[in-house]
Amino acid sequence: MARISDLVEDIIKQMIEQNNGLIEITRSELADRVNCVPSQITYVLSTRFTNNQGYMVESRRGGGGWIRIRRVDLATPTRYLMHALNAIGDSLSQHQADVLVRNFIDYDIIVDREARLLLAAVSDRSLNEVDIDRRDRTRMMIFKNMLISLIVK
């Protein structure tokens, strides 16, 4: 059975797809639909619908509060990869890499084989010999270099 976070993410993505890349909804409305607490919606939004992942999220809290989620239209795979490159900071966690790669697949930027190679290269298992305090920075450098190689195919 899928985790609640995965379910919320899937529902939001379906809604975005059905509404031409833009939805407006309340946390409580979405929480009722998924049968979870509104804070779970907030968690999913803050971890899976960020600028780095190609989304703009606006929200207003309170009684009449709403959430507006807009998918950033980056017309070509190269532009999308460039956006990702520019959005990645000074380090990259395993989870962040997984999310980015999942988005690349979802938007047909890369194929499954490329995704598996990319994830294998930046996995904690591959970076096991790197000191923990340097691992996320090393992962970021490898990830960015691999993205650059995809751009200059």
Mark 41-51 as b/e (b = at least 16 C-beta within 10 Å): beebbeebbbe
Clarify whether residues 93 and 147 are in a common domain.
Answer: yes
pLDDT in tens, 88-142: 889 999 999 998 999 899 888 899 999 999 999 999 999 999 999 999 999 999 9
Digit-coded pLDDT (tens) for 15-65 = 998 998 889 988 888 889 888 988 898 889 888 888 767 788 888 776 667
> In terms of domains, do 63 and 127 share one?
no
Among 3-17, 47-61, 139-153, the range scoring the smallest mean pLDDT is 47-61
What pTM, to 2 d.p., does this model score?
0.58
Which of 71, 95, 110 represents a domain boundary (last residue)?
71
What CATH number is associated with residue 111? 1.10.1200
Question: Do 9 and 66 reside in the same domain of the chain?
Answer: yes
pLDDT of residue 1: 41
- List the domain range (segments joined by +) for residue 58: 4-71
Q: What DSSP string runs through 86-128?
A: HH--S---HHHHHHHHHHHHHTTSS-HHHHHHHHHHTSTTTTT
- Taking residues 70-97, what's their average pLDDT? 84
Residues 81 and 22 in one domain: no
Are 56 and 70 within 8 A, CB to CB? yes
- Helices (H) and strands (E) counted in the chain, each on its own, are 7, 3
Q: First-to-last CA distance in the chain?
A: 38
* Structural domain total, the chain: 2
Q: Which of 46, 71, 96 is the last residue of a domain?
A: 71
Q: What pLDDT does residue 134 have?
A: 95
Query: Do residue 9 and residue 58 come from a single domain?
Result: yes
Same domain, 65 and 93: no
Residue of 68, 72, 64 whose CA lies nearest to 25? 68
- pLDDT at residue 63, as a whole number: 66
Q: How many CB atoms lie within 10 A of CB 64?
A: 7
Instruction: Report the pLDDT value the prediction gives residue 124, as an integer from 0 to 100.
Output: 94
Answer with the one of 40, 71, 102 that is the final residue of a domain: 71
CA-CA distance, 22 to 43, in Å (whole number)? 19
Residues 141 and 82 in one domain: yes
Whether residues 60 and 87 share a domain: the answer is no
